[in-house]
Structure 1
Amino acid sequence: MTQQIIIATAALFGMLSVIFGAFGAHALKKVLSKDQLHSFEVGVKYQMYHAIVLLILGFNSQNITPAIYWCFTVGIILFSFSIYGLVLSDAKGKKLRFLGPVTPIGGLLLVIGWLLLLINVF
C-alpha cells in the first residue's frame, strides 16, 4: 500500500465522519430517538478513531502492511456504515435487519487490524 493511498483513505474517512457527525447532531437529532442517536454517534466515533489511526500509519508507513490497511478500511465500512444503515432504516420504520450481522464482522476486522499492527511492531 502506498503512503498516498493510506493517507487519502484516512482523509476521506475523517472528512466523512465530520460530515456524518454534523448530520447526526443537527439534522437527525429531531428524527432519531436517543438510543438511535447514540448508536449513530458510536459509528461516527469508531470511524474517526480508525481514520486517525490510518493517518498516523500513513505518515509512518513502515508499520503498516496491506492486511492492516484492508482490515481497518473494510472494518470501518462494515462496522460504521452498517450502523448508519441500521439506524436510518429503523428511523424510517423499515429496519434493514440483514445489516445486523455485518456490524460485528466489521468490528472483528477492526480488532484483527489492531492485532496485526501489534504483531507487525514486534
Structure 2
Amino acid sequence: MPKPFLLLGAINTFLCIALGAFGAHGLKSVLTDDMQTIFHTGLQYHLYHSFGLLIIGLLLIHYAKSRLIELSGWLMLLGIILFSFNLYMLSLTEIRAFGIITPFGGFSYIVSWVVLAIALWKVNPSVD
C-alpha cells in the first residue's frame, strides 16, 4: 500500500512549503519571537516527517507485506497532526492549551521511527 503514503508525503511537503512561505512573509510582523520559534519548530518536524512518509511509501514498494512499515507511516501522520498542527495552532492563537496535546505527537514521531527500525530489522529482503 505505498500510494497513500507517497500521496500523503507529497501533500504534506507541499503544506510545509506553503506554511513556511506564509510564516516567513505573512506572519513575521504578526507573531512574537517566541511564537515564531514555536511555528518554526512545528514546520521543521512537519517537513522531516513529510519526507518520512515519502520514505515509507518507497519502502512499501519493496516490502509491500510489512504491516510494521505501514504502521510507522500512520504514526508519522498522527505525529504531524498532534505535534506540528498543534504547534501551528499554539503559535497562531497563543492558547497554551494546545501545548497539552503536543507531547503525544512527539511520542508518536519517536515511536514511528522505532517501529520502522524494528520493521526493517525483521524484513527478509529475499522473501518480501
**TM-score normalised according to structure 1 size:** 0.90
Cα offset, 1:16, TM superposition: 0.4
Count of aligned residue pairs for this structure pair: 116
Does residue 66 (structure 1) correspond to residue 65 (structure 2)? The answer is no
Cα offset, 1:66, TM superposition: 2.7
Indicate the residue corresponding to 1:46 in structure 2: 45
Superposed CA deviations along residues 63-119 of structure 1, whole A, max 9, x for unmatched, are 6633111110011111000000011001xxxx2x33111100000000000100111
- Conserved in 1, the CA contact under 8 Å of 2:42 and 2:88? yes
Indicate the residue corresponding to 2:92 in structure 1: 88
% identical aligned pairs: 36
Higher Rg of the two aligned structures: 2
Superposed CA deviations along residues 15-51 of structure 1, whole A, max 9, x for unmatched, are 0011111100000000011111111011011001111
What SS does the corresponding residue of 1:15 show, helix, strand or coil?
A: helix
Indicate the residue corresponding to 1:98 in structure 2: 97
Q: Could you tell me which amino acid in structure 2 is paired with residue 71 of structure 1?
A: L
The answer to which of 26-35 and 55-64 deviates more is 55-64
Classify 1:87/1:77 alpha carbon distance in 2 versus 1 (closer, same or farther; 3 Å). same
Which segments of 5 or more consecutive residues in structure 2 lack a partner in the other structure? 122-128
After superposition, the CA RMSD in angstroms is: 1.2
Q: Could you tell me which amino acid in structure 2 is paired with residue 88 of structure 1?
A: L
Which segments of 5 or more consecutive residues in structure 1 lack a partner in the other structure? none
What SS does the corresponding residue of 1:60 show, helix, strand or coil?
A: helix
Q: Could you tell me which amino acid in structure 2 is paired with residue 56 of structure 1?
A: I
- Conserved in 1, the CA contact under 8 Å of 2:78 and 2:108? yes
Distance 2:78 2:84 in 1: 10
Indicate the residue corresponding to 2:125 in structure 1: none
